[in-house]
Amino acid sequence: MSSMLARWQALSPELKSLLRIVAALMFLQSGTMKLFGWPIPMPGGGSLSLASQVGIGGILEFVGGTLLLVGLFTRPVAFILSGEMAVAYFQFHFPGGFWPLVNQGQPAVLYCFIWLYFSAAGAGPWSLDAALRRAP
C-alpha cells in the first residue's frame, strides 16, 4: 500500500500542471465569451467596448488564460488574474450577499485562490516555463 501511495504522491508535479491546464481552459472560456461571443454569446446578447471594464476583463481572461494554458510567465500572470478575480468578486458578487453560493461568486473565489496558488507554486513540469528553464 505504501508503494502505491508513494507512486501517487510522485505524480504531484504532473497533477499540478494538469490542474493549471484544466483551470486555464475553463477560465479562457470567460474571455472568449466576452470578446468573441463563443462558445455562448454574452448574457443579454450585447456587445462590449474593449475599453470598458468588462472588455478589459475579457482581454485579461483571454490573454492570461492562454498564457496559463501553455504555462508561460505563469507566476506574474497568475498573480494579476488572482487580483482580477478578487476585484470581480467584491465589485460584482459581494454586493449581492455575503455567501458566494448566494451571490453566485463561487467561480470568482475559486479562480482567485487557484491563481494565487500558481503565482507562488509555479506552472509545474508540463509548461513552457519549465521547458525554458531546461533549455541550454
* DSSP string computed for 64-117: HHHHHHHTSSHHHHHHHHHHHHHHHIIIIIGGG-SSHHHHT-HHHHHHHHHHHH
**C-beta separation of 59 from 50 below 8 A:** yes
pLDDT tens-place string over residues 81-123:
999 999 999 999 999 999 999 999 999 999 999 999 999 999 9
**pLDDT above 90: residue 1:** no
**pLDDT above 80: residue 33:** yes
**C-beta separation of 17 from 127 below 8 A:** yes
pLDDT > 70 fraction of the chain, expressed in percent and rounded? 100
**C-beta separation of 119 from 81 below 8 A:** no
pLDDT tens-place string over residues 57-91:
999 999 999 999 999 999 999 999 999 999 999 99
Q: pTM of the predicted model, to two decimals?
A: 0.93
**pLDDT above 90: residue 125:** yes
Could you tell me which of 134, 132, 106, 115 has the C-alpha nearest to residue 20? Answer: 115
